[in-house]
Structure 1
């Protein structure tokens, strides 16, 4: 299970969790400027932005789960099973294997708008990293330090790039369906609810937080998407970095 929140109250924070019962040996990995990135079907890049993130070190190649570059552009791959489709190599496209996607974008783009220009030319291929390390079914969230965010999904009908007005992402279903599902929670509020049941009955506000009573409580991706979006837009905003990080981390931990 994965959840990601873009939180930009004053400074900008790109957060995600990797809530799995196993470890892949991931660690914090810094890729310095001008480290040579080699790609399966594209020329190597030997002049690029520095980046830092969580990755598996595969023989000197950082297989990033998520990362941010020195310009403040962040990117994370979240599990997207039964939906993610990668493609054969296509002539005239920038053919990038799914495990190369994060380095390809973060090495060259400083903003979401620059990332979109790269995405217009990209074809994400289904090549495995090795015989023992096959492709993972992922979709991606990309955000810059302004708080602008997009989601990239590669489905059976092609690659889609969606503007992300909520700055959140979990797993299945497809991102447009996640957004549409928020319509079912328009009555959820951080405030105490009004009595719309009947004017003839007196209602007792017996507990704080009653306005959030109808938030979904499941650990499924659709429920988590609703909760992280609600928490993001209703979280308290502080003046210090420490307080804002203290606000963000519990939402990721308990999403």
Structure 2
């Protein structure tokens, strides 16, 4: 039940991480040169760029929920159950589990376009990760040129410009746009048009639910209707879609909130269970040689 919202002002990225964990999430810095092994590969990959992100540590393996590398590329994974359809392993390509895709993207690419161009050289396959789980994901990319999405549909990776600047879980982005436009009362279908932006500034019916489509609409309203632009306003929006841990949400609740400044390289990680805030800057510390866990 995660929610992502990106803003043009300083290229801010904000998200709630609601995915149930088996090991704790924490802000983690992986230096350039860090070597890691995809779950279904024998050879290790050496990271070209330093990475800072919200991560889980399972044995000696890091699962990245979201992060930014030293070049300013941001990537996040969100749950994509039912809709996800992955390909088959292919010789001559790097075959990755869904869990390893984000590490691959941030490790070796400086821009979103570099990732998109390199997709022809990989296949994402439905295989278990090191914790013996297989997670269905889709991904958001962000750099100085804007926000993009990558979804595993029909056995292949589909890329698109995410003009709304919002992302949640299943259904697919085009279906989210169709639902958004129906809510706004226009006939734009699965396209985010100038009319959609205009309609978001009007008085629209209140949204009482918090499923993925509801949160997509709420994020779009915050982005285009309320026109939030600052990290403080972004933090307030994240609080509005945070799921508390209680008797109604004993498993699916918000574990952390993240705000990334793509322009400066700063990551602000708020542990929702403890209230502790950790902040670090990947661009300022790109020459660090050791792993840091905050």
CA drift at 1:182: 2.4
Unpaired runs of at least 5, structure 1:
192-210, 239-243
Partner of 1:61: 61
Structure 2 distance, partners of 1:252, 1:144, is 21
Partner of 1:206: none
Structure 1 distance, partners of 2:169, 2:224, is 20
Change beyond 3 A, Cα 1:14–1:166 = same
If each structure's strand is expressed as a fraction of its own residues, which one has the higher value?
Answer: 2
Match of 1:227 among 213, 218, 221: 218
Structure 2 distance, partners of 1:99, 1:142, is 15
Change beyond 3 A, Cα 1:217–1:98 = same
CA drift at 1:136: 0.9
Structure 2 distance, partners of 1:233, 1:23, is 36
Q: Between Structure 1 and Structure 2, whose CA radius of gyration is higher? A: 1
Structure 1 distance, partners of 2:75, 2:52, is 11
CA drift at 1:189: 4.4
Query: For the Cα contact (< 8 Å) 2:86–2:155, is it kept in 1?
Result: no
Structure 2 distance, partners of 1:113, 1:87, is 22
1:250 pairs with 2:236: yes
CA drift at 1:122: 2.0
Q: TM-score, normalised by structure 1?
A: 0.81
* Structure with more relative contact order (C-alpha pairs < 8 Å, separation 6 or more): 2
Partner of 2:117: 117
Q: TM-score, normalised by structure 2?
A: 0.71
Partner of 2:260: none
CA drift at 1:220: 0.9
Partner of 1:168: 166
1:134 pairs with 2:133: yes
Query: For the Cα contact (< 8 Å) 2:5–2:165, is it kept in 1?
Result: yes
Query: For the Cα contact (< 8 Å) 1:34–1:46, is it kept in 2?
Result: yes
How big is each residue's C-alpha offset from its partner over 1:26-55, in whole Å with a ceiling of 9 and x where there is no partner?
111111111112233374332411111111
Match of 2:148 among 147, 150, 153: 150
**Alignment RMSD:** 2.2
How big is each residue's C-alpha offset from its partner over 1:117-140, in whole Å with a ceiling of 9 and x where there is no partner?
12232210222123x431111111
Structure 2 distance, partners of 1:58, 1:134, is 12
Structure 2 distance, partners of 1:111, 1:91, is 26
Partner of 1:19: 18
CA drift at 1:23: 6.5
Change beyond 3 A, Cα 1:23–1:60 = closer
